[in-house]
Structure 1
Amino acid sequence: MRRHRLLALSLILLAATSGCLGLLSSGATTFEAAPADVNSAAADGTGFEKNGTRDSVATRELGPAGATETVKVVSKVTTYEKTLEIPLLGSTRLGVFSVVSTPAVEIAGQTFNPVGDYSNDRLVQTITDRFGTLSNVERVSERQIVVSGTETTVTKYAATTTVEGREIDVFVHVTKVRDGEDFLVGVGVYPQQLDQESEILTLMRAIEHPAES
């Protein structure tokens, strides 16, 4: 299941990859997102179980030689999983939903987190390029939903992933929205053999940011 868990975490987006971060002042070296979560009632209703929230920390040494500073960007990744029955694989946690909160890194009215400019197609391509967890990715459809009070686009893709040495056809749903000082990215993955689309959309609509303590 290691590759499938990589898929669940593969949108740990590296918010410090833009060279524009070199414009930061020496006093602003750390940016940390507020964690996002899913309303507990919505999660319970879909059968997805929370698997915790993890920090994704990206650091860069920026500036000229001899005068560099360390810039740290902390994103939050909350993952939910659901046990599904698949022929030949049996009962396995193949339903995955992740919500990533990554700081906008806004300086003087300008946003330097490249995620702000990423389309859903680019987000899926990032998963494929960086982690190799998806192949044969094809856009299927898109729809509008409201996430954290903002209308945004959810794009559905067909793709292939590998679980326990077997290729599995999956659907991937991706959406992105800005909420306050953070960007929120929601990703849902499930086998094409099983219809989990309504559950994934329910989870996306129920994203809460910041997460309730």
Structure 2
Amino acid sequence: MMTTFRRTVLASGATGALALAAGCLDFALGNGPLEVAAERAAPTDDALEAADYEENAVEQETIEESVDAGVERDVEATVWASTYTKEIEYRGVEGEGCAFAAISIPDVSVAGRSFNPIGELSNEELLSKYRGKFERGGASIENLTHRESFGLEILGDGRSVDVFEGTTTFEGAEIDVDVAVTSFAHEGDRLVLVGSYPAALAAESATIEELMESVEHPV
């Protein structure tokens, strides 16, 4: 169990190794939670500038999960969420109409078992879970249905991207939107990359793809 845990959490030197051993022992005995942290993922500055996206928020959050490791144990996972938005003009109105989010969650494994809280979720379920990260101006995205899937080269490997279509409001008017999402494991974390844009702005689909392809992890 300790070997797997060392691959999951970064530590250096004898002090770090002792802390890992103590943390793993506390978890195994039920005396404390397993605490792990993800590394941040984000598009490159050059890609964001070329796409005309601006940073909206970079946040760390803690997910607390109870897992069954033979007996019930607690896991506290620190998650990174980096979100970006783009001002557009649509039907003569200006506002934040496009969004991109890069989320990283520790892919926790103990004794060969994954305790990642999103590991078994489909891309559609991930959209439901994290829709607050790419919905803009308090307008929710509704009626999401899957339209297509395609492949992209991201972080040195081929990834499957799903595109969903739905509806939202933009500056008071209902519009159709497309939402692209991919999720995959990389360097000990689970990454979720999401982009949304008005369906009528077809060129924005290529922009979202370029942002996905530019993502670095860890940043």
State the TM-score, normalized to the length of structure 2. 0.74
1:90-101 pair list within 5 angstroms? 90-101=93-104
1:50-65 pair list within 5 angstroms? 50-60=55-65
| Pairing partner for 1:137 from 135, 144, 154 | 144
| Pairing partner for 2:162 from 152, 155, 163 | 155
| Structure 1 portions without partners, runs of 5+ | 1-22
Matched, 1:72 2:90: no
Give the number of equivalent residue pairs. Answer: 183
Are 1:82 and 1:96, in contact at CA under 8 Å, matched by a contact in 2? yes
Pairwise CA RMSD: 2.7
Larger radius of gyration: 2
| Structure 2 portions without partners, runs of 5+ | 1-25
Q: Closer, same or farther in 2 for the Cα pair 1:69/1:136, shift >3 Å?
A: closer
Identity %: 29
Q: Closer, same or farther in 2 for the Cα pair 1:73/1:85, shift >3 Å?
A: same
Are 1:150 and 1:177, in contact at CA under 8 Å, matched by a contact in 2? no
Q: Which of structures 1 and 2 has the larger relative contact order (alpha carbons within 8 angstroms, sep 6+)?
A: 1
Matched, 1:176 2:183: yes
| Pairing partner for 1:114 from 111, 114, 117 | 117
Greater mean deviation of Cα atoms: 77-86 or 158-167? 158-167
State the TM-score, normalized to the length of structure 1. 0.76
d(CA) in 1 for partners of 2:65 and 2:117? Answer: 15
Q: CA deviation at 1:60?
A: 4.8
- Post-superposition CA distance 1:108-135 (Å, at most 9, x none): 2211113222222222343579x99322
Are 2:65 and 2:117, in contact at CA under 8 Å, matched by a contact in 1? no
Are 1:128 and 1:135, in contact at CA under 8 Å, matched by a contact in 2? no
